[in-house]
Chains A and B, each alone.
Chain A
Amino acid sequence: MTKAAERTVRVASGQGFWGDWLEAPRRQVEGGPVDYLMLDYLAEVTMSILQKQKERDPNMGYARDFVGAMDSVMPAVAGRGVRVIANAGGVNPPACAAAIRQVAAKQGVSDKVRIGVVTGDDVLPRLDELIAGGHALANMETGDPLSTVRDRVLSANAYIGSVPIVEALSKGANVVITGRSTDTALTMAPLRHEFGWKADDWDKLAAGIIAGHIIECGAQCSGGNCLYEWQTIPDLANVGYPIVDAVSDGSFYITKHPGTGGRISVPSIKEQLVYEMGDPHAYITPDVVADFTSIRLEQAGDDRVRVFGIKGRPATDKLKVSIAYRAGFKAVGTLVYAWPDALAKAKLADRVLRDRLKNLGLTFDEMLTEFVGVSAAHGPLAGELPEYPEVQLRFGVRGPDKAAVERFTRELAPLVLNGPPSVTGFAGGRPKVEEIVAYWPALVDKTVVQTKVEVA
Chain B
Amino acid sequence: MKVRLLDIAHARSGDKGDTANVGVIALRPEWYPLLATYLSRDAVHEHFRGVITGDVERFELPNLGALNFLLHGALGGGGTVSLKTDAQGKVFSTAMLRLSIEIPDEEARRLKVPGRPEFPAFTRSHKE
Contact = CB atoms under 8 A, between A and B. Distances in A.
Given A232-B126, A276-B21, A292-B64, 9 more contacts: A227-B11, A228-B126, A270-B23, A275-B21, A276-B16, A280-B61, A293-B62, A295-B63, A396-B83
B12 interface: yes
Contacts of B79: 44-45, 438-439
Interface of A: 44-45, 141, 225, 227-229, 232, 263, 265-267, 270-281, 292-297, 299, 309, 327, 330, 332, 366, 368, 370, 372, 376-381, 394, 396-398, 436-439, 441
A225 to B, nearest CB: 7
A274 to B, nearest CB: 2
**Interface range, B side:** 35 or more
A299 B66 CA distance: 17
Contacts of B36: none
Nearest to B68: A277
A340 B12 CA distance: 35
B51 to A, nearest CB: 5
B83 A368 contact: yes
Contacts, number: 140
B70 interface: yes
A372 B91 CA distance: 14
Main SS of the interface on chain B? Answer: loop
B18 A141 contact: yes
A275 B128 contact: no
Contacts of A370: 84-85
Contacts of A398: 81, 83
Given A299-B127, A379-B51, A380-B51, A270 B85 contact: no
Interface string B7-42: 000111111111101010101000000000000000
A381 B50 CA distance: 9
25 contacts: A45-B79, A141-B17, A227-B11, A228-B10, A270-B64, A270-B65, A270-B66, A274-B68, A275-B21, A277-B21, A278-B16, A280-B59, A281-B59, A368-B83, A370-B84, A377-B86, A377-B95, A378-B95, A379-B95, A381-B47, A381-B51, A394-B85, A398-B83, A436-B80, A438-B80
B85 A372 contact: yes
Given A267-B128, A438-B79, A277 B23 contact: yes
Contacts of A281: 59
Contacts of A437: 80
Interface in B64-112: 64-66, 68, 70, 76-81, 83-86, 91, 93-95, 98
A302 B14 CA distance: 28
Given A45-B80, A274-B25, A368-B76, A377 B16 contact: no
Contacts of B48: 381
A438 B81 contact: yes
Contacts of B94: 227, 377-378
A274 B23 contact: yes
A439 B79 CA distance: 8
Contacts of A332: 83
Contact of A441 (B17, B80, B84, B93): B17
A155 to B, nearest CB: 13
Contacts of B15: 276
